[in-house]
């Protein structure tokens, strides 16, 4: 946003602050795009200056400029994430080969490592830029679910033993998927009844696999119950409410969050704001209300780096979230380098705090 003489405003500029006449009467509200006729009329009414912002560059350039800036690092170390992913892969391959014995000590150590790193972060906010995607979906998904579950568990002040069980069960919640054929697992279209039953069986199979491998009952139950729903509409036991163990209720939400957020063979991942709203709408139905409330405090409706389209059709990038008003972050709008107003080496962008204007709001994301 820049303050310029009305004579220097060019058509297409967006009003960034309301324009009043000398008597305080509102002439133009925030968010109006000025054309040549409007600029002349304002000048004729004696308006001397205005706060305006200029139209966006094309989407690709906006994102390119933003992504050249520093990013927030992963909330756990990259080496820890890779180690956990590789360990999950080894465990699942061992079970596929009917090896009953798995290295529980290594699993325990990696969970301790993740918990330790999460506890070192003062105020964890989960965003898609922090939970990174690796090509091998199943194993990366397992690590993501483990991290998200532990963040929720820490917020709930679970005792160390419970956190350990939560992390172990979350990391291994999908081991039963090794029983599902590749054709079914990667089918891009709707599953038929037989295929769906095959998928549903992975919770029971995973539970037995973990018990047979020496994993505790409490952790193994996470594999068994992570597709149960708070309203009883899940599978396979059709449990509801607090019949579902607390740790399983946590992993149910974390599993859904990561599944919604990432690309699958049958659909693309949903934008962060859509995921946020979907999870909020399922609170008390699919998910425990209290767990959902705590979780939503740990994710941003519009994470830093999200491309947004304002109601004025200007495109920008979120540069700072707003914890009190999550729907109104600070947006960076980039000006065209050919704009004559940018000839004095001023920054080629303007930042708009949406919480400070009643007229600008986010229409959609990209």
Q: Has residue 345 been placed in a domain? A: no
Note down the domain range covering 35: 2-57
Do residues 40 and 154 share a domain? no
Q: Has residue 325 been placed in a domain? A: no
> For position 55, what pLDDT does the model report?
53
Do residues 216 and 127 share a domain? yes
Q: Has residue 131 been placed in a domain? A: yes
What does the alpha-carbon distance between residue 231 and residue 228 come to, in Å, rounded to a whole number? 9
> For position 1, what pLDDT does the model report?
58
Tell me the pLDDT of the chain (366 aa) as tens digits.
567 888 888 777 778 778 888 767 889 887 777 888 889 999 999 998 888 876 554 445 545 554 444 343 467 887 888 899 999 999 988 887 776 668 899 999 999 999 999 988 777 777 644 444 434 677 889 999 999 999 999 999 999 999 999 999 999 999 999 989 989 988 888 999 999 999 999 999 999 999 999 999 999 999 999 999 999 999 999 999 999 999 999 999 999 999 998 877 777 888 888 999 999 999 999 999 999 999 998 888 888 778 899 998 888 888 888 888 899 999 988 765 544 444 455 556 788 999 998 889 999 988
Phi, psi of 308 (to 5 degrees): -130, 155
DSSP label at residue 162: H
76, 147 in Cβ contact below 8 A? yes
Domain boundary (278, 296, 314) is at 296
Name the residue among 269, 286, 312 with its Cα closest to residue 228. 286
> For position 99, what pLDDT does the model report?
66
> For position 340, what pLDDT does the model report?
46
DSSP label at residue 120: T
Do residues 185 and 44 share a domain? no
Q: How far is CA 128 from CA 69, 101, 119, 166, 282, in A?
A: 17, 35, 20, 22, 20
Q: Has residue 288 been placed in a domain? A: yes
Do residues 184 and 261 share a domain? yes
In sequence order, the 6+-apart residues with CB closer than 8 A to the CB of 3 are 49, 50, 51
What does the alpha-carbon distance between residue 241 and residue 288 come to, in Å, rounded to a whole number? 7
Do residues 102 and 250 share a domain? yes
Q: Is 41 exposed, middle or buried (0-12, 13-18, 19+ CB in 10 A)?
A: middle
Q: Has residue 258 been placed in a domain? A: yes
Do residues 30 and 178 share a domain? no
Q: Is 351 exposed, middle or buried (0-12, 13-18, 19+ CB in 10 A)?
A: middle
Do residues 23 and 165 share a domain? no
What does the alpha-carbon distance between residue 352 and residue 350 come to, in Å, rounded to a whole number? 7
Q: What is the pTM of this model?
A: 0.76
Domain boundary (250, 267, 296) is at 296
Q: Does an H or E element contain 349, and which? A: strand 349-353
Do residues 110 and 199 share a domain? yes
One DSSP character per residue, 173-241 reads TTGGGGGS-HHHHT--S---HHHHHHHHTHHHHHHHHHHHTT--HHHHHHHHHTT--TTS-SSSS---G
Based on the structure, what is the number of domains in the chain? 2
Q: Has residue 100 been placed in a domain? A: yes
> For position 129, what pLDDT does the model report?
43
**Which residue matches tokens 């990013």?**
71
Q: Is 344 exposed, middle or buried (0-12, 13-18, 19+ CB in 10 A)?
A: exposed
> For position 347, what pLDDT does the model report?
56
Do residues 50 and 124 share a domain? no
What does the alpha-carbon distance between residue 248 and residue 149 come to, in Å, rounded to a whole number? 10
Q: Has residue 265 been placed in a domain? A: yes
End-to-end, the C-alpha distance of the chain in Å comes to 22
Do residues 162 and 203 share a domain? yes
Name the residue among 124, 102, 110, 35 with its Cα closest to residue 79. 110
- Residue 22 has a CB neighbour count (10 Å cut-off) of 9
Give the CATH number for residue 41. 3.90.105.10
Phi, psi of 256 (to 5 degrees): -65, -40
328, 49 in Cβ contact below 8 A? no
| Omega of the bond leading into 268 within 30 degrees of 0 (cis) | no
Do residues 49 and 91 share a domain? no
Q: Has residue 68 been placed in a domain? A: no
- Residue 327 has a CB neighbour count (10 Å cut-off) of 13
Phi, psi of 56 (to 5 degrees): -75, 160
Do residues 26 and 116 share a domain? no
Give the CATH number for residue 224. 1.10.3210.10
Phi, psi of 132 (to 5 degrees): -85, 155
């Amino acid at each position: 946003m820049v303050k310029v003489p009305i004579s220097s405003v060019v058509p297409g500029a967006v009003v960034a602050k309301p324009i009043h006449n000398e008597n305080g009467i509102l002439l133009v509200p925030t968010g109006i795009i000025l054309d040549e006729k409007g600029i002349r009329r304002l000048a004729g009414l004696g308006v001397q200056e205005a706060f305006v912002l200029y139209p966006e560059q094309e989407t690709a350039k906006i994102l390119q400029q933003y992504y050249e800036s520093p990013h927030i690092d992963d909330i756990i170390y990259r080496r820890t994430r890779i180690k956990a992913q590789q360990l999950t892969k080894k465990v699942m391959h061992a079970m596929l080969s009917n090896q009953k014995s798995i290295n529980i000590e290594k699993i325990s150590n990696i969970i301790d490592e993740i918990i330790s790193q999460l506890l070192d972060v003062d105020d964890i906010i989960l965003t898609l830029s922090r939970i990174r995607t690796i090509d091998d979906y199943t194993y990366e998904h397992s690590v993501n679910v483990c991290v998200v579950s532990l963040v929720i568990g820490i917020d709930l002040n679970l005792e160390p033993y419970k956190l350990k069980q939560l992390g172990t069960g979350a990391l291994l919640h999908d081991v039963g998927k090794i029983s599902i054929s590749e054709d079914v697992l990667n089918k891009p279209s709707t599953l038929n009844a037989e295929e769906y039953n095959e998928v549903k069986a992975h919770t029971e199979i995973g539970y037995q696999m973990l018990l047979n491998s020496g994993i505790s009952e409490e952790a193994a139950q996470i594999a068994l119950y992570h597709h149960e729903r708070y309203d009883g509409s899940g599978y396979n036991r059709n449990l509801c409410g607090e019949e579902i163990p607390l740790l399983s209720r946590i992993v149910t939400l974390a599993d859904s969050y990561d599944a919604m957020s990432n690309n699958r063979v049958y659909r693309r991942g949903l934008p962060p704001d859509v995921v946020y709203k979907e999870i909020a709408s399922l609170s008390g139905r699919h998910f425990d209300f209290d767990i959902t409330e705590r979780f939503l405090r740990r994710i941003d409706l519009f994470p830093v780096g999200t491309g947004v389209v304002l109601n004025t059709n200007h495109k920008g990038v979120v540069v700072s979230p707003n914890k009190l008003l999550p729907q109104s972050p600070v947006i960076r709008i980039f000006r065209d380098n050919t704009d004559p107003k940018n000839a004095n080496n001023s920054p080629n962008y303007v930042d708009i705090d949406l919480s400070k204007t009643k007229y600008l709001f986010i229409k959609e994301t990209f």
